[in-house]
Chain A
Amino acid sequence: MNDLFDIAIIGGGPAGLTAGLYAARARLKVILLERMGFGGQLLTYEKVDNYPGFPEGISAFGLSELISAQALRFGLLTRNAEVTGLEFEAPIKRVVLADGFIEAKTLILASGASPNKLGVKGETEFTGRGVSYCAVCDAPFYRNQEVAVVGGGDTAIEEAVYLTKFAGRVHVIHRRDRLRATQIIQEKAFQNDKIDFILSTVVKEIRGGSGGVEGLILEEVPGGRTSELAVSGVFVFVGIHPSTDYVPASLERDPLGFIRTNQEMATSVPGVFAAGDVRSKELRQIVTAVGDGATAAFNAGRYLEAHSL
C-alpha cells in the first residue's frame, strides 16, 4: 500500500469516528485505523443518558453503531489494524502497523484510554475470575451474590447501580470521605437499598482460591485499621490512563501521560492532532470527544491548506 493519505486517524471510538465523518465530508483522503470493532470505551457501558438528542437515553452499543454508520455513509475508509509506532518528524508521517505501514500528511490520535488497575496483590491473578473492569460484561455472572465496586467517580457509581440488577448486595469502596460522581448519579445510588458505602477506605489485597475471588482486605485511611470483606467479585473503576504505547516520547504530554494540545487540537508536533480521551483535558465524555474529533479534522484540513500539502 503506497497510498499517501491526507489524514490518518488512529482509533475508532466517538472521537476518531467523528473526525472521520468531518474529514470524509470535506472530501479529504482519510483512513481510520482501529484494532477492534468501532466504539472504544463506549462498548463497556450499558446506557448513555447525557448525550444530547436522545431524551430517553440510548444504549451505548446502539450509539456507537449510529456514529460509525454515519461516518461510513460519507465514505470514510477504515482498516482493522494494530498501530505499533509513529514516525512524525518529516512532513510525510508514517504510521507503523503490526503488518506494514501507511503514510499520511497529518495524523489524528484518537486512541482513547483504558481502565487503571488497583495495583494490589491478587488483582492480576484473579482477573476474569472475580476481578472485573466491565460491569456490563460481567454483572450477569454475579446473580444474587455479594460484590464490591472500587472507586467514587461517575463510572464507579453508575456501574454500582447497574450491578444491583444482578447482585444481591453491592459495597462501594472509596478512598475519600465523599464521592466524586455527578450529583444526579450519587442520588440514584443513595436511594438504592442494595448499595452501601465504605468510605475513607482502600483495598489492600484481593484474596481467593481455586474458584476465584473470595474477599478483600480493606484498610481505613487515615488510621490504618484493616478489616476483611467477603465478596465473590470486585469491580474496579479507579480512573483511566491514555492508550499511547505507540506514541514516541518526544510528543508532549501532561504528568499523567495524556497528550497535550491547544484549542485547535494541535499537539506539540506540527501536523499531529489529538482528540478524545487520549487528550489532556478536564471533562472526558462522549459529547466532548465528538467535539474534539470535529475540531481536529477541521484543523487538520486547515494545516493541509496552509502548507499546500
Chain B
Amino acid sequence: MAGNIIEISDSSFEKEVLQSDVPVLVDFWAPWCGPCRAIAPVIEELSGEYSGKLKVAKCNVDDNPKTPSRFGIRAIPTLILFKGGSVSEQITGAVAKSQIASAIDKVVS
C-alpha cells in the first residue's frame, strides 16, 4: 500500500537489508497473525515519517523461514532495526508507535 515499504525474501535479505546504506526496519509478519495486521498501519505511517532516512521492509515468515530463524525469531510481530549490517534494536509484539519511533530515533542520524 504505502509506496516506500518493500517486500523482502530470504534471497533478497542480504542485499536489501545487510548491505543497505541507510538503516532498515524489518517487520517480520505472517498472514495468520492478528497483531501483525494491527501494527501494519503504524509501520506504514512510520515509513512515511522517516522517508529518506530509513528503509522499511516486510518479511513474510511463512514464505521465508530462513531469515527469521537466522535471528532466532520465535514470535511475531517482531521488528528488527538493522544498521550497517547488524542488529541494533529488536522489538517483539504489537507495541505503541512511540516505542517504535524511539527505537528508530536511536539508529537514524
Q: Could you tell me which A residues sit within 8 Å of B by CB distance?
A: 35-37, 39, 42-45, 60-61, 64, 80, 82, 98, 127-130, 132-134, 136-138, 140-142, 211-212, 233
Question: 7 closest Cβ contacts across the A-B interface?
Answer: A43-B34, A128-B92, A37-B38, A36-B38, A128-B75, A141-B74, A137-B33
Q: From residue 18 to 33 of chain B, which have CB atoms closer than 8 A to chain A?
A: 30, 32-33
Q: In the bound complex, do residue B98 and residue A43 qualify as a contact, i.e. CB atoms below 8 Å apart?
A: no
Q: In the bound complex, do residue A98 and residue B98 qualify as a contact, i.e. CB atoms below 8 Å apart?
A: yes
Which A-chain residue is minimally distant from B74 (CB atoms)? Answer: A141
Q: Of B32, B34, B62, B96, which is in contact with the most chain A CB atoms at under 10 Å from its CB?
A: B34
Q: Could you tell me which B residues sit within 8 Å of A by CB distance?
A: 30, 32-42, 45, 62, 72-78, 90, 92-94, 96-98
When distances are taken between beta carbons in the complex, the residues of chain A under 8 Å from B98 are: 82, 98
Q: In the bound complex, do residue B72 and residue A211 qualify as a contact, i.e. CB atoms below 8 Å apart?
A: yes
Q: In the bound complex, do residue B76 and residue A129 qualify as a contact, i.e. CB atoms below 8 Å apart?
A: no
Cα–Cα, bound, A137→B62 (Å): 12
Identify A98's interface contact among B62, B75, B97, CB under 8 A: B97
Cα–Cα, bound, A141→B36 (Å): 15
Identify A129's interface contact among B33, B34, B74, CB under 8 A: B74
Q: In the bound complex, do residue A35 and residue B97 qualify as a contact, i.e. CB atoms below 8 Å apart?
A: yes
- Separation in Å of the B17 CB from the closest CB of chain A? 19
When distances are taken between beta carbons in the complex, the residues of chain A under 8 Å from B41 are: 36-37, 80
When distances are taken between beta carbons in the complex, the residues of chain B under 8 Å from A137 are: 30, 32-36, 75-77
Report how many A-B pairs have Cβ atoms within 8 Å.
84
Cα–Cα, bound, A42→B37 (Å): 12
When distances are taken between beta carbons in the complex, the residues of chain B under 8 Å from A98 are: 97-98
When distances are taken between beta carbons in the complex, the residues of chain A under 8 Å from B42 are: 35-36, 80
- Separation in Å of the A128 CB from the closest CB of chain B? 3
Q: In the bound complex, do residue B76 and residue A138 qualify as a contact, i.e. CB atoms below 8 Å apart?
A: yes
Which B-chain residue is minimally distant from A141 (CB atoms)? Answer: B74
Q: In the bound complex, do residue B72 and residue A43 qualify as a contact, i.e. CB atoms below 8 Å apart?
A: no
**Contacts A36-B41, A137-B34: A130 and B74 contacting too (C-beta < 8 A)?**
yes
When distances are taken between beta carbons in the complex, the residues of chain A under 8 Å from B62 are: 140
Q: In the bound complex, do residue A128 and residue B32 qualify as a contact, i.e. CB atoms below 8 Å apart?
A: no
Given A127-B92, A134-B34, A137-B36, output 17 extra A-B contacts at Cβ < 8 Å.
Answer: A35-B97, A36-B94, A39-B38, A44-B34, A60-B34, A61-B37, A80-B42, A82-B98, A128-B73, A129-B75, A133-B93, A134-B33, A136-B34, A137-B30, A137-B76, A137-B77, A140-B32
Cα–Cα, bound, A284→B11 (Å): 45
- Separation in Å of the B93 CB from the closest CB of chain A? 7
- Separation in Å of the A292 CB from the closest CB of chain B? 21
Cα–Cα, bound, A98→B100 (Å): 13
